[in-house]
Amino acid sequence: MLAIYRSCELPAAAGELLLGCGLQQGESSISGKIDVSVKMERPLFIPIILGTARQGRQSENVARFVFEQTKKRVDVETELIYVRELPMRLDDAGEQMKDAAFSATIERCDGIILVVPEYNHGYPGLLKHALDMNLKEYIHKAVGICGVSAGPFGGARVIEGLLPVMRELGLVTIFEDVNFGKVQEIFDEEGRLLDQSYVPRVDKFLNELIWMARVLRHGRKTIAGVPEE
Ligand SMILES: Cc1cc2nc3c(=O)[nH]c(=O)nc-3n(C[C@H](O)[C@H](O)[C@H](O)COP(=O)(O)O)c2cc1C
């Protein structure tokens, strides 16, 4: 049986199959006889933000590990953003100090992963200062949070503290987090993961985030927004 997709989006696997047969995007398979158009979805773009500027931060190991796991997903493009490298002023706040490149990254993204250490049961102020630079760019995008702590709870409190902030920014939170507790024991001196149980945990987290990012991209493209008053 020959399934014909005409100017529509193919399931990724079918698209790969046709490309594997030597077809390019939008090219007909049997020229002149059957008009088969292949329109490939661009990969989801899910950057990772490391939310601390602290010298010697352990959560950089977490961010790098999550980054490597995310890069393995064939349908996802990612990049690692260091909050301390974002151009930010300390004499202002909010969209007034919007950075064009950071805004463009958030505008383009379908979801965000935050890697956040717990500082006195809260989130680092610099992360909030950075997140506040954008607003409409976040709306209807997915967000997942990896909490990091020296204590055993893996940043559970910082994640809870961030949820209302995410909501106010227009981001959509997922119900999977990853808690990196006792982070000083999880990685070796070179930043290599010692506890392999984090591989399936991050996988489960990514599965949920990617699902939500895909659903929300579909929604942004196809469902009209609520009219503004
Ligand atoms: C200002 C500050 C406050 C902290 N507060 C907590 C805390 O409330 N709970 C906790 O488990 N660890 C706390 N820690 C330890 C961090 O969780 C620990 O440094 C861990 O490695 C993650 O942060 P890092 O990425 O800066 O290393 C704190 C560290 C700093 C620098």
Residue 59 alpha carbon to ligand 1 centre in Å: 9
* Cβ neighbours of 106 (radius 10 Å): 23
* Phi, psi torsion values for 225, nearest 5 degrees: -75, 165
State the Cα–Cα distance between residues 148 and 132, nearest whole angstrom: 21
Whole-model pTM: value is 0.85
Q: 52-67: per-residue pLDDT in tens?
A: 999 999 999 999 999 9
Name residue 208's amino acid.
E
Q: In whole angstroms, how far apart are CA 81 and each of 46, 58, 94, 154, 192?
A: 11, 16, 19, 21, 20
pLDDT for 229: 66
Cα-Cα-Cα-Cα dihedral of 137, 108, 69, 74, to 10°? 140
Residue 135 alpha carbon to ligand 1 centre in Å: 28
Nearest to 108 by CA among 220, 226, 225: 220
* Cβ neighbours of 93 (radius 10 Å): 13
For 164-169, what is the mean pLDDT? 98
Q: Roughly how many angstroms between the first and final C-alpha of the chain, as a whole number?
A: 51
3-state secondary structure of 2: coil
* Phi, psi torsion values for 39, nearest 5 degrees: -110, 110
Instruction: Give the atom of ligand 1 at the shortest distance from the alpha carbon of 118.
Output: 17
Helices H / strands E in the chain, number of each:
6, 10
Longest dimension (CA), the chain: 68
For residue 146, what is the enclosing H or E element?
strand 141-148
Structural domains of the chain, ranges and CATH numbers in brackets: 8-39 (no CATH), 44-222 (3.40.50.360)
* Cβ neighbours of 161 (radius 10 Å): 16
pLDDT for 226: 77
Instruction: Give the atom of ligand 1 at the shortest distance from the alpha carbon of 152.
Output: 11
For residue 113, what is the enclosing H or E element?
strand 111-117
Tokens of 215: 């659903």
Q: 113-153: per-residue pLDDT in tens?
A: 999 999 999 999 999 999 999 999 999 999 999 999 999 99
146, 149, 186, best to mutate for ligand 1 pocket (most atoms within 8 Å of CB): 149
Instruction: Give the atom of ligand 1 at the shortest distance from the alpha carbon of 155.
Output: 11
* Cβ neighbours of 177 (radius 10 Å): 22
Q: 4-47: per-residue pLDDT in tens?
A: 333 333 444 444 444 433 344 444 444 444 444 445 789 999 99
CA atoms within 13 A on the CB side of 72: 11
Crossing angle (nearest 10°) for helices 198-222 and 59-71: 60
Tokens of 196: 């392999």
Who has greater pLDDT, 177 or 5? 177
* Cβ neighbours of 204 (radius 10 Å): 12
